[in-house]
Amino acid sequence: MDPLLIVGAVIVFFVVITVLKSVRIVPQARARNVERLGRYSRTLKPGMNFVIPYIDRVYPMIDLREQVVSFRPQPVITEDNLVVEIDTVLYFQVTDPRAAAYEIANYIQAIEQLTVTTLRNVIGSMDLESTLTSRDTINSQLRGVLDEATGKWGIRVNRVEIKAIDPPKTIKDAMEKQMRAERDKRAAILNAEGQRQSQILTAEGEKQSNILRAEGERTAAILKAEGQSQAIDQVFQAVHRNDPDPKLLAYQYLQVLPQLAQGENNTFWVIPSEVTSALQGVSKAFTQALPPSEATRESVTSGASEAASAAAAEAARAARAAEEAVADAAAPEPATAGPRQLDAPPAPVTDPLQDYRQEHHPEHRP
Supply the pLDDT for residue 73: 87
For residue 262, the model assigns a pLDDT of: 65
Residue 25 lies in a domain: yes
In a domain, 102, yes or no: yes
- Asked if residue 323 is part of any domain, the answer here is no
Q: Do 51 and 88 reside in the same domain of the chain? A: no
Contacts of 279 (CB under 8 A, 6+ apart): 250, 254, 319, 322, 323, 326, 346, 347, 349
* Same domain? 50 vs 134: no
In order along its 366 residues, the chain shows pLDDT tens digits of 578 788 888 888 888 888 888 888 999 999 999 999 889 999 998 999 999 888 889 989 999 999 999 888 888 888 888 888 888 899 999 999 999 999 888 888 888 888 888 888 888 888 888 888 888 888 888 888 888 888 899 999 888 888 888 888 888 888 888 888 998 999 999 999 999 999 999 999 999 999 999 999 999 999 999 888 888 888 778 777 776 666 666 666 666 666 666 666 666 655 555 556 655 655 565 555 445 544 444 444 444 445 456 556 666 676 676 666 656 655 554 444 444 443 444 444 444 444 544 554 454 444
Final residue belonging to a domain, choices 131, 146, 167: 167
Residue type, 144: G
Does 51 share its domain with 79?
no
Can you tell me the distance from the alpha carbon of 223 to that of 218, in angstroms, rounded to the nearest whole number? Answer: 8
Judge whether 287 and 349 are in contact, CB under 8 Å. Answer: no
Residues 6+ apart with CB under 8 A from 329: 261, 269, 271, 340, 342
- The residue range of the domain holding 159 is 65-167
57 shares its domain with 95: no
Number of domains in the chain: 2
For residues 54 and 94, state if they share a domain. Answer: no
Helices and strands, counts by H and E, the chain: 10, 12
Question: Could you tell me if 161 and 84 lie in one domain?
Answer: yes
pLDDT at 339 (0 to 100): 41
Residues 42 and 81 in one domain: no
Choosing from 151, 167, 183, the residue where a domain stops is 167
Please indicate, yes or no, if residue 45 is contained in any of the structural domains.
Answer: yes
- What pTM, to 2 d.p., does this model score? 0.47
Which of the 8 DSSP states describes residue 168? -
10 inside domain: yes
Residues 159 and 83 in one domain: yes
CATH code for the domain in which residue 162 is found: 3.30.479.30
Nearest Cα to Cα of residue 347 among 331, 329, 321, 323: 323
Asked, for residue 149, whether it belongs to a domain, the answer is yes
If phi over 0 gives left and psi between -120 and 50 gives alpha, with beta otherwise, what is residue 120?
alpha
What pLDDT was estimated at residue 189?
A: 93
Q: Which of 167, 199, 229 is the last residue of a domain?
A: 167
- The answer on 57 and 81 residing in a single domain is no
Do 82 and 163 lie in a common domain? yes
* Residues 250, 278 contacting (CB under 8 angstroms): yes
Would 194 be classed as within a structural domain?
no
Sequence-distant (≥ 6) Cβ neighbours of residue 187 within 8 angstroms: none
Predicted local confidence at residue 229, as pLDDT:
86
Residues 48 and 70 in one domain: no
Residue 336 lies in a domain: no
Verify that 86 and 158 share a domain, yes or no. Answer: yes
